[in-house]
Amino acid sequence: MAKQAAMAIVLLAVAAAASLPAALADADLVASTCKSSDNPQCAAVLGADPRSANATTVREFASIALDVAAAAARDASGFLSGEAARRDRTDVGDALSDCVGYYGGAIDALETAREDFDAGAYGEAEKEAGDAEGAADSCEQAFTDRRLESTVSDVDRRMKDRASVAGDLIDLLWGDKRRRSGRRLLRP
């Protein structure tokens, strides 16, 4: 019995050691991809999604980032809807209701971005991701316009980070096409 337990521990140690270089390689690939995007939030956004461990191309990372941004928009919209209902008939509730509308637009934009991305229309997908990113700014502005301090800055920051990573990674795909055609150089 003790021999079997010792053998099991040795096998587990060997298996763990064998998978360690792959995990480090995955982290290196995320890091090098994100360095190309020049987005400080990229590694955190991609690293939080377990699918990134299996991604091997910029296109796969961009696809994951697009999914993450869409999930963030849906989550934020649900949260904001609840908060708006809870604070109905107040200035804060009115600002939150505006935010619900902006995030609804972000959800639509990211659905369109997904369709464009899957069709290889990266320029359009990048634009739609940028439009979705704008929902966070518009939401913050809804509070500013009412001379209120935003109660959802963390939600807006999360959305902005995720949508910007998606847009920046998509830009790496589209930027490569633009660079080859001579239309525009990829950002340094």
User: Residue 38 belongs to a domain with what CATH number?
Assistant: 1.20.140.40
Q: What is the pLDDT of residue 1?
A: 54
pTM to 2 decimal places:
0.79
- From CA 12, how far away is CA 131, in angstroms rounded? 48
Whether 154 is in a domain gets the answer: yes
HSE, side-chain direction, 13 A CA sphere, residue 34: 22
Whether 20 is in a domain gets the answer: no
Location of structure tokens 């609804």: 104
Tokens of residue 97, six digits: 């209701």
Q: What is the pLDDT of residue 36?
A: 87
CB count in 10 Å sphere of residue 18: 9
Kindly report, residue by residue over 23-49, the tens digit of the pLDDT.
333 678 888 889 988 899 999 999 999
Residues of the chain with pLDDT under 50: 5-25, 178-188
Q: What is the pLDDT of residue 112?
A: 97
Q: What is the pLDDT of residue 81?
A: 96
- What residue numbers bound the domain in which 120 lies? 31-181
Whether 187 is in a domain gets the answer: no
Whether 50 is in a domain gets the answer: yes
Whether 139 is in a domain gets the answer: yes
Q: How far is CA 90 from CA 29, 146, 163, in A?
A: 48, 11, 29
- From CA 75, how far away is CA 154, in angstroms rounded? 13
Q: What is the pLDDT of residue 27?
A: 77
Domain tally for the chain? 1
